[in-house]
RNA sequence: GGCGCUAUCGUCUAGGGGACUAGGACGGGGCCCUCUCAAGGCCCAAACACGGGUUCGAAUCCCGUUAGCGCUACCA
């Protein structure tokens, strides 16, 4: 600090309190990628700004909420590496506060009792709503004198509490959309407390966000139309609304909201499919958010450092599973094989294969050519037991194309391989040997190599053949090569 | 129907009045490398929804149209 400013003359810079954000899923289903991304954005914002993330389970829909779903959601978040600073808190435990807030609004004349039954409401809707659905509650119960309403309630007549919505501008500066404005007259007096004294979503959320001192509400776009109601509630309750940031939806390939009929939509599905959590997180982060440049692969630290709410896209994004797989492949190829051993072993076990040896060299041999852990495990399984793979169409084509040479060349290779000492079974020595075999018999290198590849993998695609041999091992390789040579002796086309 | 949101290659996006002959990535096509494939490198095709303004100048600002989506419950 220069320019003669002495510390004593400096006004203390008011430090804004660290942000508090929350992720508030309702445990009525699995953790969907949309929810996961909302959670991710909240997490990134909290980490970026030195704030805190509160996890709140909105389980007030008793009918549909289950503990199993809560478990799945928590597991999904953990899998993605999303950690929270408080919670999980359960909204269902705050019923008394919700009710107290509703009654306070009632006492202050900012809400009123409504004795209309569901059936009556239905009838009103049917007659007023000219088939369209432009129904707005006509406030008939607001006209009931307070004493009478209280008496009826005391007598046990069921009633809800409705919020008295004033006709005023309900607007806010959305962190992603800019200014959004609604008019009170376009909304109606919504119910805040059910006849069983439990809160309706909008009240519960506002009541909880106030109590938990949430400063930034980062949530899905589909909540934009709830926001004016919530702002009205904040005002009525005497609190400053938080900053709202509405993130766009995630669509399926057909441009419709992503749903089960698009296939995998739960993060658990991708876990199943062998996607790495880091890749999933990276992909999700870039779906609807951009750091501003050309970056694609973003390590966690960079993601956190670069994240801003302003960088969030306004437009909905289509979930592109192909790009996810590409990204997974990127992570796969840079990840040390050692870190893949556990997930690959798990997958092998699911396939009914018990592998006791060191899997790392096998994983190293195949991971560059794989896009998911499932692919890796499949290829490892083939190398563990070369008699396993069925012939693929390309392998079959090669056999047909080479005719009798296929078997002959295999035989020659096997004979030469037989002479290799176990200690000499290394990629380098094997390459030398194969080259010599080809030379001796006047073969192109490929004509010596490809049959081996097909014999050991059933396919024309693999790591370099010498490495393949090394990884499969001496005994297994030779036995399999002889088997296959014998099988195709005579060179007939595959049946 | 009402209210609201959105609109750049097929997809994810960069872009915030001149740097745009609109950049990158996935996917597609081609070439190189090579025993095959993948990776990698190089190259190609591919977009500012439409119409009006504002401005010397608009992908960028304003208005309208169209289209898509969201909400419109005693669900969340």
CATH of domain A393-487: 1.10.10.350
Per residue of chain A (495 residues), what is the pLDDT tens digit? Answer: 334 444 455 666 667 789 999 999 999 888 999 999 999 999 999 999 999 999 999 988 777 888 889 999 999 999 999 999 997 999 999 999 999 999 999 999 999 999 988 888 888 877 765 544 567 888 888 888 988 888 898 898 999 999 999 999 999 999 999 999 999 988 989 999 999 999 999 999 999 999 999 999 999 999 999 999 999 999 999 999 999 999 999 998 888 888 777 878 899 999 999 999 999 999 999 999 999 888 899 999 999 999 999 999 999 999 999 999 999 999 998 899 999 999 999 999 998 888 778 899 999 999 988 999 999 999 999 898 877 777 888 888 888 888 888 888 898 989 988 888 888 898 988 998 888 888 888 888 888 899 999 999 988 889 999 999 999 989 899 999 988 888 887 655 544
Nearest in space to A42 (alpha carbons), one of A34, A200, A250, A331: A34
Report whether CATH 3.30.700.30 matches the domain A17-84+248-334.
no
The answer to whether A393 CB sits below 7 Å from nucleic acid chain B is no
> Within 304-323 of chain A, which residues have Cβ less than 7 Å from strand B?
310-311, 313-318, 320, 322-323
ipTM: 0.93
Q: What is the dihedral sign for C-alpha A316, A321, A324, A326?
A: negative
Cα–Cα distance for residue pair A424/A447, rounded to 1 Å: 23
Greatest extent of chain A over all pairs of C-alpha atoms, in Å: 108
- What are the residue ranges spanned by the domains of chain A? 17-84+248-334, 85-247, 336-384, 393-487
Is the torsion defined by CA of A197, A201, A204, A206 positive or negative?
A: negative
Answer whether any strand B atom is within 7 A of the Cβ of A468: no
Q: Which fold has domain A85-247?
A: Rossmann fold (3.40.50)
Structural Rg of chain A based on CA atoms: 33
* Residue (of A298, A471, A446, A454) closest to A368 by Cα position: A471
Strand B reaches within 7 A of the A79 CB: no
Nucleotide in closest CA–C1' contact with A453: B36
d(CA A137, CA A455): 75
End-to-end CA distance of chain A: 85
Domains A17-84+248-334 and A85-247 share a fold: yes
Q: Pairing relation of β-strands A111-114 and A86-90?
A: unpaired
Residues of A assigned a catalytic role: 260
> With a 7 Å cutoff on the CB, does A178 touch strand B?
yes
* Nucleotide showing the shortest C1' distance to residue A191 CA: B74
Q: Do A200 and A193 touch, CB atoms closer than 8 A?
A: yes
């Amino acid at each position: 600090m220069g320019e003669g400013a002495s510390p004593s003359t400096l006004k203390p810079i008011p430090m804004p309190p660290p942000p508090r954000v929350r992720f508030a899923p309702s445990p009525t289903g699995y953790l969907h990628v949309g929810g996961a991304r909302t959670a991710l954005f909240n997490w990134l914002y909290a980490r970026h700004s030195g704030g805190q993330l509160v996890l709140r389970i909105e389980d007030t829909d008793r009918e549909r909420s289950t503990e199993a779903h809560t478990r799945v959601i928590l597991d999904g978040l953990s899998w993605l590496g999303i950690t929270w600073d408080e919670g999980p808190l359960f909204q269902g435990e705050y019923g008394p506060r919700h009710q107290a807030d509703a009654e306070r609004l009632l006492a202050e004349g900012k809400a009123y009792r409504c004795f209309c039954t569901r059936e009556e409401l239905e009838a009103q809707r049917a007659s007023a709503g000219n088939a369209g659905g432009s129904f707005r509650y006509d406030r008939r119960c607001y006209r009931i004198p307070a004493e009478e309403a209280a008496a009826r309630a005391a007598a046990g007549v069921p009633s809800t509490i409705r919020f008295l919505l004033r006709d005023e501008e309900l607007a806010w500066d959305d962190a992603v959309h800019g200014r959004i404005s609604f008019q009170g007259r376009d909304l109606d007096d919504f119910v805040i407390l059910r006849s069983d004294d439990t809160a309706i979503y909008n009240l519960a959320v506002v009541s909880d966000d106030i109590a938990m001192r949430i400063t930034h509400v980062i949530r899905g776009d589909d909540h934009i139309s709830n926001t004016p109601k919530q702002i009205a509630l904040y005002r009525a309750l005497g609190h400053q609304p938080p900053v709202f940031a509405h993130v766009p939806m995630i669509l399926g390939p057909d441009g419709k909201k992503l749903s089960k009929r698009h296939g995998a939509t739960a993060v658990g599905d991708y876990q199943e499919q062998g996607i790495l959590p880091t890749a999933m997180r990276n992909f999700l982060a870039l779906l609807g958010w951009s750091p501003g440049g050309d970056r694609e692969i973003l390590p966690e630290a960079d993601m956190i450092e670069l994240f801003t709410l302003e960088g969030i896209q306004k437009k909905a994004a289509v979930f592109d599973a192909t790009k996810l797989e590409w990204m997974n492949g990127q992570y796969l190829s840079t990840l040390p094989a050692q870190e893949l051993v556990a997930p690959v072993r798990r997958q092998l076990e699911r396939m009914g294969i018990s592998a006791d040896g060191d899997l790392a060299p096998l994983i190293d041999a195949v991971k560059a050519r794989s896009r998911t852990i499932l692919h890796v495990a499949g290829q490892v399984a083939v190398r563990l037991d070369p008699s396993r793979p069925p012939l693929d169409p390309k392998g079959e084509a090669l056999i047909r194309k080479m005719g009798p040479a296929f078997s002959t060349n295999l035989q020659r290779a096997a004979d030469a391989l037989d002479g290799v000492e176990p200690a000499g079974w290394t990629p380098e020595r094997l390459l030398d040997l194969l080259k010599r075999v080809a030379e001796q018999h006047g073969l192109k290198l490929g004509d010596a190599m490809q049959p081996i590849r097909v014999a050991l993998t059933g396919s024309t695609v693999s790591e370099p053949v010498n490495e393949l041999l090394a990884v499969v091992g001496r005994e297994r390789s030779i036995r399999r090569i002889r088997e296959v040579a014998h099988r195709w002796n005579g060179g007939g086309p595959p049946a």
